[in-house]
Amino acid sequence: MQPISRRLFLTGSVVVSVGALTGALAGCSDDGGTAEGTTPESPESPESRESTDASATSATDATTAEAPPTTAPADTEPPTPPTTAAIDLGADPFTLGVASGDPGPGTVVLWTRLAPDPLVGGGMPADDLDVLWEVAPDDTFAEIAASGTTVAAAAYGHSVHVRAELDPGWWWYRFRVGGYTSPTGRTRTAPAPGEPTSQVRFASASCQNYQDGWYTAHRDIADQQLDFVVFLGDYMYEGTGIATVGENDTVRTHGTAEVTTLEEYRNRYALYKGDADLQASHASCPWIVTWDDHEVENNYAGLVPQDPADAATFAERRRAAYQVWWEHQPVDLPPPDGDEFTIHRSATWGDLLDLAVLDGRQYRSDQACGDPSLSLDPPCPETFDEARTMLGDEQEAWLLDLLATGTATWQAIAQQTVFGDVTLGGAILNYDQWDGYPAERNRIVDALDPARNTVVLTGDIHFAGAGTIRQGERGVGTPVAVELVATSISSGGRVNPAVTEVVRSIPDIVDVELEHRGYILHTVTPEAWSAEYRMVETVKEVGAPMFVHATYVADAGTNTLRIA
Ligand code: FE
Ligand code: CA
């Protein structure tokens, strides 16, 4: 949880000497669908586009959220793919795979995006298109439990978000259009709030710079058959990338300059979404996704860009980035409308888990003191201004209310930056993390009930860590939460592993692992929260072996960690 500014990534190596911290802190910076025979059919009228044919289920298009589900008679035959005879897409449009997300009690969002030519705008005709979705109890699709048509709107990059209403259990889903059938995904809904639930298994992960490494960790996630994945941001990186493979340790290249426009963001997401391991991870279970900074621009804060020269056009850039994020994620949210886009939300998993999903970027005050990298100076007075915020007033109030009213055995806060106090001799090493927003952090910590079991899930920092969150004095006060910091899926580490022991010596840090990439596999029961830190030996070689660094356990009622 050693905080090293991402700006270090951009500015190269930095060496720090203070007390014991003398080490060098190194900077760093499917299968496709298959054509099938289809029944010629005339294009449907607009009125029929939201039609649903379901026995156990129904659905609404997220772009028209709140529409009441319609239910057809149980004996109705599934519809044939719509408008297929009229469409000649020229190539398989399902190049970006399928995904599902935001599992609720009886609901889950099914996602795909049509893109026969994914890296150059998608390659779709300018028209909206009807897409058939199908849900089945097994992957043969011999029996269709639910199906319907929805619109892939050109205005949203021909992305598809179907909010399917499904009975409890696991389901398989796919999409069909123009004679093509998508890959198959597996998904599930959540148990109802308060429903007795004996276990949930999920991954937390973040930071998957395409250039830095292969997504071996995603293949491992897919193999685990988890209930869901919580993705904590930096799903894609906006930066330049005309690097030659091998240069700066890159294994593959973005191939274009930094992305700033709607079409450029779409092409960048499409590049990432083309990865077979990432597609497998999405297809294996539903995801709960939030964003961090790189989905727009490194270290942006609200409407303040990293590079002041971009200020005049940054609002427009952010609006484009937010829309394209929505287009590419299986989120149970309507598309953004205007400059702001509310994505913080909550989830529940029976009586076992309440989950708050935060947005730490859209509403935050600009990083204090000029956002210095690894400054050992005392923080400037601005840092402690009570009005400074990472979440914004509305989201902070929403979170505090959620923490006060939750009833599940465990409550988790899924968010981006390191939450615990990791200041060193009073110096804030990274103003982008919660150390740079101490007043708001104190309000949240003070609101945590020591009698509840709270887990903070963190990404962003590109190394693994585990620690204790206390009210009052660091190392001494009452423990009110544990923090579990996932390392990155592939993004390069920024701290030299030689300083591991120094970082571990910071009070309340239980452990850090600075060298490897991976994710955390959480197994949660009423008695204990177990966090298995799964890591890949190297992301520089395809399919390198995975290993378990350590497993940390928080026994219910303790808000502290032990090594299993
Ligand atoms: Fe990152
Ligand atoms: Ca980040």
The whole-number pLDDT of residue 475 equals 94
- For ligand 1, a single-atom ion, the residues with CB < 5 A are 207, 234, 491
Between the CA of 9 and the centroid of ligand 1 the distance, in Å, is 10
230 forms bridges with which residues in the sheet?
204, 288
Handedness of CA 298, 277, 158, 240 (dihedral sign): positive
The whole-number pLDDT of residue 494 equals 85
Between the CA of 304 and the centroid of ligand 1 the distance, in Å, is 19
Convert the pLDDT of each residue in 429-471 to its tens digit: 999 999 999 999 999 999 999 999 999 999 999 999 999 999 9
Between the CA of 73 and the centroid of ligand 2 the distance, in Å, is 48
Ligand positioned closest to the Cα atom of 488? 1
CATH topology of domain 36-186: Immunoglobulin-like (2.60.40)
Between the CA of 460 and the centroid of ligand 2 the distance, in Å, is 4
Percent of the residues in the chain that have a pLDDT greater than 90, as a whole number: 78
CATH topology of domain 6-27+198-563: Purple Acid Phosphatase; chain A, domain 2 (3.60.21)
118 forms bridges with which residues in the sheet?
none
The whole-number pLDDT of residue 88 equals 85
Residue found by looking up tokens 């995975």 in the block = 546
Between the CA of 495 and the centroid of ligand 1 the distance, in Å, is 13
Convert the pLDDT of each residue in 500-520 to its tens digit: 998 899 999 999 999 999 999
Determine the average pLDDT of the residues in 384-390.
97
CA distance 232 to 205: 6
Is it the case that residue 349 has pLDDT exceeding 60? yes
The whole-number pLDDT of residue 327 equals 98
Between the CA of 303 and the centroid of ligand 1 the distance, in Å, is 20
CA distance 444 to 442: 5
Give yes or no on whether 6-27+198-563 and 36-186 have one common fold. no
Between the CA of 36 and the centroid of ligand 1 the distance, in Å, is 40
Query: Which of 56-60, 225-229, 345-349 has the weakest average pLDDT?
Result: 56-60
110 forms bridges with which residues in the sheet?
100, 162
Between the CA of 207 and the centroid of ligand 1 the distance, in Å, is 4
Convert the pLDDT of each residue in 116-168 to its tens digit: 999 999 999 999 999 999 999 999 999 999 999 999 999 999 999 999 999 99
The whole-number pLDDT of residue 185 equals 98
The whole-number pLDDT of residue 495 equals 87
The whole-number pLDDT of residue 242 equals 65
**pTM (two decimals):** 0.87
Spatial neighbors of 114 by CB under 8 A, at least 6 apart, are 89, 93, 94, 122, 124, 129, 131, 152, 158, 159, 160, 177
CA distance 423 to 433: 11
More confident residue, 111 or 45: 111
Closest alpha carbon to 157 in 6, 18, 10, 326:
326
> With bands split at pLDDT 50, 70 and 90, how would you rate the model's confidence at 249?
confident
Instruction: For the chain, give every domain's residue range.
Output: 6-27+198-563, 36-186
Determine the average pLDDT of the residues in 278-299.
98
